[in-house]
Amino acid sequence: MKYLKYIALGVLFGVTLTKAEIISWYRIYEMFMFQSFHMYGVIGSAVVLGVGVNQYIKRTRMKSISGEIIHIPNKPFSIPRYLIGGTLFGLGWALTGACPGPMFILLGNGVWVISIAILSGLAGTYFYGLVRHKLPH
């Protein structure tokens, strides 16, 4: 089954974010209050190692499992899209205490009410699809 490896990787992701308490509303509140290094350590160490991963993949022209050279896509730069969209995301993140990944992982933790936040998130994404041509990007 070709999807088994994705499920396995998802399990690792879900276990990690649960065990390191990243899915906790309190950890996000604490992060935005600058009252603990924990979340900065998680994201910071992932990015520092991630820079190494990106450089290694690019410099060695590393091949993927299917034998093609791995292509890491660039994100075209503009200001309004990232600044306004990012700020709206941040406002929501501080309310729910969960970004999209942790929302799903909280479901696995039995926090059923987060399914309502996921449905709202789907509605928000759909609404963006409807109005995006009227928004500055």
Partner 1 sequence: MSYVIDFIQQPWPWYVAGPLIAFVMFALYYFGNTFGMSSNFRNVCSMLGGGRSCDLFDFDWREQTWNLMFTVGAILGGFIAYNFLTPDTAVGISPATIADLEAYGMVEPGKNFVPSEIFSFEELLSWKGLIFIVFGGFLVGFGTRYAGGCTSGHAISGMSNLQPASLLAVVGFFIGGLLMTHFILPHLLML
- By CB under 8 A, the residues from 65 to 104 that bind partner 1 are 65-66, 68, 70, 72-79, 81-101, 103-104
Does position 36 interact with partner 1 (CB under 8 A)? The reply is yes
134 binds partner 1 (CB under 8 A): no
CB neighbours of residue 76 within 10 Å? 7
Residue 104's contacts (CB-CB under 8 Å, 6 or more residues apart) are 14, 118
| Torsion sign across C-alpha atoms 47, 88, 39, 100 | negative
Minimum Å gap between C-beta 59 and partner 1 is 13
Report how far residue 29's alpha carbon sits from residue 103's, in angstroms, rounded to the nearest whole number.
15
For partner 1, the binding residues in 112-131 under the rule CB under 8 A are 112-114, 116-130
Is 60 among the residues that bind partner 1 (CB under 8 A)? no
